[in-house]
Amino acid sequence: MKWLAVMLGVVVAVYAAYKLNFPTYSYRYRLEISLSVDQIVYTGSSVIEVTWECGPHVAGLAQCSPSLGGQATVMDLGSRGVVVATLYTGENVSPVPDGAVDAIWLCARAFGNRSTSEDLPKLPHLTGRRALSPDNFPRLVWFSNPADPKSAQKVTIGNVASIIDPAARFTDAFVEITQDPIVVDIAMKLPWYSALQEAQRGKGIYSESGKFQLIYRMFVGENTT
């Protein structure tokens, strides 16, 4: 049995060395947004997971890349359609002209974490809830007809009343660290999503610089099974 203990020790040591050189930082948060129209409040929420995978430090720099799990947040406005807070902005330009923020940065920024190589190890230790500020908001897309992706229009805190309804305003928006399970049912809320995913998956679809378009990863994270 001695050889088994030795082998186990070697495996543990190798794994520890691997994790030391290739660390992973992951955290899960709930995004919840409320929109009031004619004194009726419509709320949507979803659980999103952010994972950073890092390589070894080379010349003092660690190569880290982020990915997302979970789905976009949907507010069902009934006869007025739906508003979706997407995971990605859908624009291949930085900074995004209207200031929309990807889900990768959204929660961390709300907690004052810059997601730099120095701040990444702090992310799994975040706790509590933080309100979203007007300059730290996700991409919002209004579908006047949820069954038609061509009805999509970008919405912001500033123009929601002029686009959806004069009485429309966002009343609450926050992120909260959670261990709740991830639920993916976006295809039930946006019936065209499956067709968009099938048409784009594996084709490296990117927005043209400065232009907005729907990309399937805006609605379901790449780490979602």
Strand order of the sheet with strand 61-70?
61-70, 40-58, 24-37, 169-177, 129-131
Q: Is residue 115 predicted with pLDDT exceeding 80?
A: yes
Please give the Cα distance from 90 to 212 (Å, whole number): 5
Structural tokens at position 75: 């507010």
Residue 93: CA atoms inside 13 Å, Cβ hemisphere, count? Answer: 11
Tokens of residue 219, six digits = 């609605």
Name the region of 27 (left: φ>0; alpha: ψ -120 to 50; beta: rest).
beta
Which of the four pLDDT bands, split at 50, 70 and 90, describes residue 93? confident
The model's pLDDT over 140-170, given as tens digits with 9 standing for 90+, comes to 999 999 999 999 999 999 999 999 999 999 9
Please write the tens of the pLDDT for every residue from 29-86.
999 999 999 999 999 999 999 999 998 755 455 689 999 999 999 999 999 999 999 9
Sheet holding 82-85, edge to edge: 73-76, 82-85, 140-143, 152-155
Interstrand relation of 24-37 and 61-70 (parallel, antiparallel or unpaired): unpaired
